[in-house]
Structure 1
Amino acid sequence: MEPRTQRDPSDPLIGRLLDRRYRIESRIASGGMASVYEAHDERLDRVIALKIMHPGMGDDGDFAARFVREARHAARLSHPNVVGVFDQGEEHGTVYLAMEYVPGHTLRDVIRKEAPMDPRKALALLEPVLAALRAAHQAHLIHRDIKPENVLIAPDGRVKVADFGLAKAISADTQHTATGGVLIGTVSYLAPELVIDGRADARADVYAAGVVLYELLTGRKPHEGESPIQVAYKHVHEDIPAPSLTVPGIPAYVDALVARATARDRGLRPADAGVLLHQAHRVRQALDEGILDDPDLVADLSPTSGVVREIEDAPTHEHADGSGQVAAAAVAGAGPRENTAKDPLEQAGTGASEHTSMIEAGALRPPGDNAGPRQSGHQPAPEKSPQRRRRGALYLVIAALLALALGLGAWWFGFARYTSAPGVLSLTAAQAEKKIEGAGLDYAEGDPAYSETVEKGMVLSSDPAAGDRVLDGGTVTVTLSLGPERYAVPKVAGSTEDEAQKAIQDANLDFGRSIEKFSEKVPAGEVIRSDPKAGTSLKPGTTVDIELSKGPKPIKVVDWTGKSADDAEKALSDLDLKVERTESFSDSVDEGKVISQDPSSGELFKGDTVNLEVSKGPELVDVPRVRGMGEKAAIKRLKAAGFEVEVKQHQNYVGLHFVLTQSPGSGKAAKGSTVTITIV
């Protein structure tokens, strides 16, 4: 894809809220099959990359179902060097894929600016790509479209591979053979077997990675031509040249690594990206150690040793016109067929940045190959003798008979034994079986698959597909729909955060975030509930959040000492605290106010107790009657009753020391208060 970060007001998708969740902000890149947009996930409040297939592709129900299946496989591929897939969906024919947003640039940008580059740096950039492919191959997933445009480099240097599984989803409805159908890929990185028969395995990714390494080392593609067909032809019939031919000084063992990865015979390539990554590590170690020549390493990596050389020396069985396997297959497959490619040569070829292209596989004839006989000039031929003329006539008859036999053989083996597979999509199993057996073929059922568009029990796909050739009496295997794939949210209340996360992921759902909340009933660290709630049926990969208990909510304690006890009790009760109230006499605190509080500060929790000591005011006691008593006796009696005594002399004092009056004279008074006596 070609970078295009500016906003395009004319794009009808800009500003659209897709699937009531993804707000499309701006277009990042545009390619032959899809466009990539920067979008905002309104539900999870994050920036994502949204890959949207071009209009019309979502109208095909089979394609949509296949796209869902391949996107699901890619989503389960979790690796630090793989662009994460978050979600996939379809809305009114718009098929989309929500992916991790990786700011930065692509490997194509690096090649433009820095290639040719030092082999160590080239391998440092390639190794994360191989690590991602190794994880994919171990998961039985093939990328099918490895190229610099699909390798993203973040500002912090992280390398991530994008678009796993999409090439398969796009191309699965065609029979990838040289005799018919459409070949989809980026021609500069197509393995020869993809050009010839379209059959891809992990070694096709290995080939593409080898081509990328060549481009990093040299700054150019290994094969160029005036059209995509010419480039594809060269991949079939010409070896990738040694990088050192373009950039002298590259060690021979680096050349050998490129040659091994890009061997035209896929049997000579590393079995998968894991093997190639191991070989790349060996080469990088030799480079780090400054080794300029290592014959043993070259011998280990070279594809042209021992039995390999015997294979390469074997005849190629090319036709006289030089077209080899591809032309032969094209002739064998000649005949009317529908061309499903809207733009067969869309922007592919020798440019600096290529799109995934569609090419008629049968069209891959050698450049300049004409159907008629070659004309070699007008020089007169020597006159032949009668014996030689008779021998020539005999040869001509034999050649005609051989041609007739070959033609009959081709007719029998290529057409006469075959019939067309019937269309059975969206039929019930019984209807499909009846139709297939009515066409003289055997009915079989493969593993069922989920579908968002085909009802449960109906035929989702068939192999061979409708209209494809199949041997008389052969078998058509149908895939029945399981209906929409849905999973119930597991019950996670009462479990720990880790247990809840595992349960959600085991249910094929995505764990979102933990929202901490106070709870009076659920202990701290345990799950309160999930959102959506347990039992809700969701699409695979839907995000599920949880509420995680922080325990009871703490209550800040206020000191009510010296304040109204009634106000204190009401305020504390409103905070769901218990109040224990005791009363005491106090000479310093007014009646009804708080003398003391326990605790008087800090934090408590709902149901905890606060003790309040409330004043009853001063204690009242009877005032003893002491009038007429002697001074000393009166003082002693009053003090015994708990009073303080003040002595005053009457104005007519004569020194008798008898109590004439007292104040207060009777009744009750506060204990500890003062009683005044007057003596004469």
Structure 2
Amino acid sequence: MDRLMDWKGRVLRRRYRLDERINVGRTVEVFRAFDLLEEQEVAAKLPLPHLVSDRDYCDAFRSAAHRATRLHHPGIVPVIDYGIEEGRPFVVMEMVREKTLHDLFEAGKKMKPVGALYFTVEIGKILAYLHEQGITHGSLDERHVFIFPGRKAKISDPGFPIVLGAGASPHPLSQDPRRDIQDLGYLLYRSLTGRGKSEAADDIRGGRLRWDAEVPTRVRGIVQKCLDSAGGGGFPSAESMLRETISALREEQPMITVPPLAQVEEPETTLEAPPPAPLRIPIPHLKRWQVWAGAAFLVVAAIFLTVWILSAVITESKVEVPNLVDMSVEEAAKVADGRDLGLLVVGQEYDADIKANYVISQDPQVGVMVKKKTVIKVLESLGPLTVPNLIGLTLDDARVVLESRGFKVGEVIYRETPGYSDNRVVETDPPYGSKLSSGDAVNLVVSTGASGS
């Protein structure tokens, strides 16, 4: 353990100062670090010293770090940077201060059934994104899940290698995405029942799950299908798990703002007027043209009355979509609810023009007439992205930093610059501190050295 302390105070790549070791896991030690360039706290993870000589593990660790820098999802703790220091690989991540699911287990807390369904939807969306990128988390456990306010969650270390002990491979047990779904089932079972780690493992292994009476049958079924997924049964994919979970959530809370599995058209009620009684006109000796004119008038009147009744019924069952853009998500939900509509946040993006937690766009558009209970899908802003300070970084390092933040590298201009060595960033356009949106390009001016220097 003394060897672990030797790295406290070191500066990785002349940028990340290791201030305090805050955790030691099976494979890595985690430091609270300080980014000297961005002047912010970050988390730095390094393999334990005895694994540094394991070439297969270190190669897997670096490969996972490289893949993680290209993952951009609000539910994944972002990897900012990675590299090697004195032969020891490291990865730098966003510092997360929220509690892990492990902390909640240790505090003896349990999830209510509806909360567990929301949690399943959150983690399911993250797993669906990972699997779409061809990545399996491989070691999803309670220490990799962070619980945020507002029923949000994040996971860390997707695809990073694990060590199972006794000479086992350093790689995850399985690259099958269904293993992640099975791991989620284990976390759900513990979250709903409060069972300890070994107790839950024995219950699952013996096929005798111990449920509280308050857990609905359908929620139990979802957990069981998650647990059966890796064995060839259960859910075939994260998307199928999401669909069933959303359906169960709508059963528990019909007015929640989640997308329905299918738009079930309610049969429209057609109001038919009772058959008119035979019209007796006590006027004898009407001419034929007068009879036809009277009949035509009655037909037109009947059509007009029917159209008027139907339009009144249809209008009453439909509402106009309000304008929710540039409105906080909380306020937008209230406005939608006031018109008997639902609201679903389908994504989040950084936007330089829209404040964080405000609506960027909506579907259906404002002014459209829709049926009551229709769900309005909105895109939520994460606020602007700030151009980082890249001065002095190599071009490759600057490229990694920009792409990890959601920017694109724009035009690269080479310029002879005194005082800078070759291939160093000397200027950015827009400059450091500018506010941009996701996907915006940042141009770089790179030094080529100075003649005679």
Distance 1:267 1:103 in 2: 37
Corresponding position: 1:510 with 2:405: no
Q: CA deviation at 1:136?
A: 0.6
Residue of structure 1 aligned with 2:156, choices 158, 162, 172: 162
Q: CA deviation at 1:56?
A: 2.8
Residue of structure 2 aligned with 1:107, choices 101, 104, 107: 101
Distance 1:140 1:528 in 2: 31
Task: Tell me the secondary structure at the aligned position of residue 140 of structure 1.
Answer: coil
- Taking structure 1 as reference, are residues 203 and 219 closer, same or farther at Cα in structure 2, changes over 3 Å only? same
Instruction: Kindly provide the amino acid, as one letter, of the partner of residue 194 in structure 2.
Output: G
Instruction: Kindly provide the amino acid, as one letter, of the partner of residue 34 in structure 2.
Output: H
Alignment of 1:290-439 (within 5 A): none
Residue of structure 1 aligned with 2:146, choices 148, 152, 155: 152
Residue in structure 1 matched with residue 214 of structure 2 by the alignment: 249
Distance 2:199 2:415 in 1: 55
Q: CA deviation at 1:76?
A: 1.2
Task: Tell me the secondary structure at the aligned position of residue 224 of structure 1.
Answer: helix
Distance 1:167 1:276 in 2: 25
Distance 1:249 1:549 in 2: 56
Q: CA deviation at 1:208?
A: 0.3
Q: CA deviation at 1:61?
A: 3.4
- Taking structure 1 as reference, are residues 270 and 221 closer, same or farther at Cα in structure 2, changes over 3 Å only? farther
- Taking structure 1 as reference, are residues 211 and 95 closer, same or farther at Cα in structure 2, changes over 3 Å only? same
- Taking structure 1 as reference, are residues 549 and 10 closer, same or farther at Cα in structure 2, changes over 3 Å only? closer
Contact 2:81–2:401 at 8 Å: present in 1 too?
Answer: no
Distance 1:145 1:532 in 2: 48
- Taking structure 1 as reference, are residues 82 and 536 closer, same or farther at Cα in structure 2, changes over 3 Å only? farther
Residue deviations 1:371-418 (CA, integer Å, cap 9, x gap)? xxxxxxxxxxxxxxxxxxxxxxxxxxxxxxxxxxxxxxxxxxxxxxxx
- Taking structure 1 as reference, are residues 83 and 528 closer, same or farther at Cα in structure 2, changes over 3 Å only? closer
Instruction: Kindly provide the amino acid, as one letter, of the partner of residue 238 in structure 1.
Output: G
Q: CA deviation at 1:167?
A: 2.4
Contact 1:206–1:262 at 8 Å: present in 2 too?
Answer: yes
Distance 2:113 2:83 in 1: 42
Q: CA deviation at 1:156?
A: 7.2
Distance 2:146 2:28 in 1: 17
Instruction: Kindly provide the amino acid, as one letter, of the partner of residue 400 in structure 2.
Output: L
Residue in structure 2 matched with residue 277 of structure 1 by the alignment: 242
| TM-score normalised by structure 1 residue count | 0.37
Instruction: Kindly provide the amino acid, as one letter, of the partner of residue 546 in structure 1.
Output: T
- Taking structure 1 as reference, are residues 221 and 280 closer, same or farther at Cα in structure 2, changes over 3 Å only? farther
Distance 2:72 2:39 in 1: 22
Instruction: Kindly provide the amino acid, as one letter, of the partner of residue 271 in structure 1.
Output: P
Instruction: Kindly provide the amino acid, as one letter, of the partner of residue 245 in structure 2.
Output: A
Task: Tell me the secondary structure at the aligned position of residue 40 of structure 1.
Answer: strand
Residue in structure 2 matched with residue 471 of structure 1 by the alignment: none
Distance 1:203 1:513 in 2: 28
Residue in structure 2 matched with residue 203 of structure 1 by the alignment: 178
Task: Tell me the secondary structure at the aligned position of residue 203 of structure 1.
Answer: helix
Corresponding position: 1:134 with 2:128: yes
Residue of structure 2 aligned with 1:218, choices 193, 200, 206: 193
Q: CA deviation at 1:18?
A: 1.7
Contact 2:23–2:31 at 8 Å: present in 1 too?
Answer: yes
Distance 2:415 2:231 in 1: 50
- The worse-fitting range, judged by mean Cα deviation, of 280-289 and 33-42 is 280-289
- Taking structure 1 as reference, are residues 528 and 71 closer, same or farther at Cα in structure 2, changes over 3 Å only? closer
Alignment of 1:605-616 (within 5 A): none
Distance 1:143 1:549 in 2: 37
Contact 2:138–2:174 at 8 Å: present in 1 too?
Answer: no
Distance 1:74 1:13 in 2: 24
- Taking structure 1 as reference, are residues 9 and 268 closer, same or farther at Cα in structure 2, changes over 3 Å only? closer
Distance 1:94 1:72 in 2: 15
Q: CA deviation at 1:547?
A: 3.6
Alignment of 1:495-534 (within 5 A): 509-511=400-402
Distance 1:164 1:202 in 2: 12
Distance 1:532 1:254 in 2: 65
Task: Tell me the secondary structure at the aligned position of residue 246 of structure 1.
Answer: coil
Distance 2:17 2:240 in 1: 42
Contact 2:140–2:184 at 8 Å: present in 1 too?
Answer: yes
- Taking structure 1 as reference, are residues 250 and 28 closer, same or farther at Cα in structure 2, changes over 3 Å only? same
Task: Tell me the secondary structure at the aligned position of residue 271 of structure 1.
Answer: coil
- Taking structure 1 as reference, are residues 238 and 31 closer, same or farther at Cα in structure 2, changes over 3 Å only? same
- Taking structure 1 as reference, are residues 530 and 38 closer, same or farther at Cα in structure 2, changes over 3 Å only? farther
Give the paired residue count.
287
Contact 1:52–1:97 at 8 Å: present in 2 too?
Answer: yes
Distance 1:257 1:513 in 2: 35
Q: CA deviation at 1:262?
A: 0.6
Q: CA deviation at 1:275?
A: 2.1
- Taking structure 1 as reference, are residues 156 and 536 closer, same or farther at Cα in structure 2, changes over 3 Å only? farther
Distance 1:259 1:532 in 2: 64
Distance 1:90 1:528 in 2: 26
- Taking structure 1 as reference, are residues 67 and 513 closer, same or farther at Cα in structure 2, changes over 3 Å only? closer
Unaligned stretches of 5+ residues in structure 2: 256-386, 388-394, 433-453
Corresponding position: 1:182 with 2:168: yes
Instruction: Kindly provide the amino acid, as one letter, of the partner of residue 182 in structure 1.
Output: A
- Taking structure 1 as reference, are residues 529 and 44 closer, same or farther at Cα in structure 2, changes over 3 Å only? farther
Contact 2:189–2:223 at 8 Å: present in 1 too?
Answer: yes
Corresponding position: 1:546 with 2:437: no
Alignment of 1:548-587 (within 5 A): 548=430
Distance 1:513 1:269 in 2: 35
Corresponding position: 1:42 with 2:36: yes
Instruction: Kindly provide the amino acid, as one letter, of the partner of residue 11 in structure 2.
Output: L
Distance 1:139 1:39 in 2: 29
Task: Tell me the secondary structure at the aligned position of residue 143 of structure 2.
Answer: helix
Distance 1:548 1:216 in 2: 47
Q: CA deviation at 1:257?
A: 0.5
Q: CA deviation at 1:268?
A: 0.9
Task: Tell me the secondary structure at the aligned position of residue 258 of structure 1.
Answer: helix
RMSD: 4.1
Distance 1:508 1:150 in 2: 28
Unaligned stretches of 5+ residues in structure 1: 1-7, 175-179, 186-193, 226-230, 291-496, 498-503, 515-525, 551-680
Corresponding position: 1:29 with 2:19: no
Distance 1:16 1:93 in 2: 14
Residue deviations 1:120-143 (CA, integer Å, cap 9, x gap)? 112223322222111111111011
Q: CA deviation at 1:282?
A: 1.4
Alignment of 1:90-105 (within 5 A): 90-105=84-99
Residue of structure 1 aligned with 2:254, choices 266, 289, 298: 289
Contact 1:531–1:546 at 8 Å: present in 2 too?
Answer: no
Q: Which one has more relative contact order, counting CA pairs under 8 Å at least 6 apart?
A: 2
- Taking structure 1 as reference, are residues 527 and 278 closer, same or farther at Cα in structure 2, changes over 3 Å only? same
Contact 2:124–2:238 at 8 Å: present in 1 too?
Answer: yes
Instruction: Kindly provide the amino acid, as one letter, of the partner of residue 209 in structure 1.
Output: L
Task: Tell me the secondary structure at the aligned position of residue 511 of structure 1.
Answer: helix
Residue in structure 1 matched with residue 342 of structure 2 by the alignment: none
Residue in structure 2 matched with residue 238 of structure 1 by the alignment: 206
- Taking structure 1 as reference, are residues 545 and 218 closer, same or farther at Cα in structure 2, changes over 3 Å only? farther
Instruction: Kindly provide the amino acid, as one letter, of the partner of residue 86 in structure 1.
Output: I
- Taking structure 1 as reference, are residues 532 and 275 closer, same or farther at Cα in structure 2, changes over 3 Å only? farther
Residue deviations 1:165-190 (CA, integer Å, cap 9, x gap)? 1126x57xx9xxxxx952669xxxxx
Residue deviations 1:590-639 (CA, integer Å, cap 9, x gap)? xxxxxxxxxxxxxxxxxxxxxxxxxxxxxxxxxxxxxxxxxxxxxxxxxx
Distance 1:43 1:64 in 2: 26
